[in-house]
Structure 1
Amino acid sequence: MSQETSKNTPCIKICMMDPKINLCFGCGRTLPEIARWSQMDDAERRSLMAELPARMHEAGLPDQAPSRERR
């Protein structure tokens, strides 16, 4: 895993799953996506991260993407 990839994670340390929509409240990923994260290549991670803001919006969860990008 490259250093760049290890920094690019949607995790914001709010790790709680919404039982109705099966998404993490903090990052918007599903449990299978979280479990596979370390096996994903950079392109797959970037693609998933690009989907998360819309997914969070559709689920009515606060979009944390701007705070992730300010690093």
Structure 2
Amino acid sequence: MAAEDKARSPCVSICALDERDMCIGCQRTGDEILRWTSMTNCERKAVLVKVAEREQMVAL
């Protein structure tokens, strides 16, 4: 797999979990953050879709 095809972490170095166990910086759950390095690229892309959905909810 080419490096440009690999899903990049959404981490923005603002690491703090809220009361819902959601990072206020990257919108991943604590579990998603912990498992990120062991996820397949397909799993990572699925998390990124969820992150985008969560960001839309925060923006409302």
**TM, length-normalised to structure 1:** 0.67
User: Could you list the runs of 5+ residues in structure 2 that have no partner in the other structure?
Assistant: none
Q: What's the CA shift for 1:51?
A: 1.7
**Displacement of 1:55:** 1.2
Alpha-carbon distance in 1 for matches of 2:28, 2:12? 12
RMSD over aligned CA atoms reads 1.9
After the TM superposition, which segments of 4 or more aligned residues of structure 1 sit over 3 Å from their partners? 2-5
Question: Structure 2 CA distance, aligned partners of 1:13 and 1:39?
Answer: 20
2:28 and 2:17 map into 1 onto residues whose CA distance is 9
* Percent of aligned pairs with the same amino acid: 33
Q: Which has the higher strand share?
A: 1
Q: Quote how far apart the aligned CAs of 1:18 are.
A: 1.0
Q: What residue is the counterpart of 2:56 in the other structure?
A: 57
Which is worse superposed, 33-42 or 49-58? 49-58
Aligned residues: 57
Q: Deviations over 1:18-48 (max 9, x none)?
A: 12x2210111111111000011000110111
Q: Which residue of 2 aligns with 1:26?
A: 25
Ranges in structure 1 where 5+ consecutive residues have no aligned partner: 63-71
Query: What is the one-letter code of the residue matched to 1:31?
Result: G
Structure 2 length as normaliser, TM-score? 0.77
Name the aligned partner's letter for residue 15 of structure 1.
Answer: C
